[in-house]
Structure 1
């Protein structure tokens, strides 16, 4: 069976179009952030990574989130809570990101999306953010930001 040039071109165009649209956000996280200009972030207290006991969260990760939000032209809406409550909110897509000094080998990896490691602590443990599961386009965007920050700071992982 021989294919004509038009059939091959159509098939190639379909393949390229599909490849360009990967990865996707099934729940539309990136699109929602772009339209509402709001990044919904859960925080759990774990200094020095996150300090969430008084007013606006502080710490290494809170500052990274603020810079990421600025890069996507969004304001941060903070929600403070326990890890389990925040991960449940991620699973329901009520939050976009959860921060709190999470290590790469977190117990939450089966329930949340995990960014690439962006920092290493004094014990050599790699740290990550948690994100809404399945929102691969959003996680890729966040990973790119974190990788760029890591490169700018001389690397941490």
Structure 2
């Protein structure tokens, strides 16, 4: 009889937890929900073909390159406009850490020193530098924004980039 009571209580607790409506993965800061149909704030650090800042941008940041094109496609998928912010990796990683950006690009690889400040996508492509060293490229997102990170990783995978 006692065993039945314990089993009943465990089952009741499990059902109560299942009904809480919590979904995983979650974004504690709501990044994916805020960006979808809104604005994706992207930090872009110039790095050869990955991220280029053409001259004559005329005040508004224009960003081009392989990663910029991917971000534009991702934003379209989310129905979001892009607000570009340009700067050095250090400045952009700090801005990401403090909530001012949703994503940082710049030809970064999985050995980036900013991994303590940010979440990293799965490596989505590889390249070799002039010395023959292999680089596995990633993008940076805010730490803990796992639903946003998962959506970006899915996009990169579905677009043939991961």
TM range (shorter): 0.7 to 0.9
* Pick aligned residue for 1:109 from 100, 108, 115: 115
Structure 1 stretches of 4+ with a deviation exceeding 3 A read 3-20
Partners of 1:26 and 1:134 within 8 A in 2 = yes
- Tell me how far apart the structure 2 counterparts of residues 62 and 136 of structure 1 sit (CA, whole Å): 22
Q: CA deviation at 1:5?
A: 7.7
Root-mean-square deviation over aligned CA pairs: 2.2
Partner-residue secondary structure (3-state), 1:68:
helix
Alpha-carbon contact 1:45-1:53 (below 8 Å) kept: no
3-state SS of paired residue (1:102): coil
The 3 A distance-change label for structure 1 pair 58 and 20 is: same
| Residue aligned with 1:88, SS | helix
Which residue, 117, 124, 131 being the options, matches 1:118?
A: 124
Deviation of the 1:92 alpha carbon: 1.0
Q: Normalising by the residue count of structure 2, what TM-score does the alignment of the two structures yield?
A: 0.83
Q: How far does the alpha carbon of each residue in 1:46-100 deviate from its partner, in whole angstroms, 9 at most, with x for none?
A: 0111112433111100000000000000011000011111011101111000000
What SS is found at the alignment partner of 1:45?
coil
Gaps of 5+ in 2: none
Which shows bigger deviation, 122-131 or 95-104? 122-131
Q: Which has the larger radius of gyration?
A: 2
Aligned residues: 151
Look up the match of 2:155. Answer: 145
Secondary structure in 2 matching 1:79: strand
Instruction: Give the whole-Å Cα distance in 2 for the aligned partners of 1:15 and 1:128.
Output: 35
Distance 1:24 1:146 in 2: 19
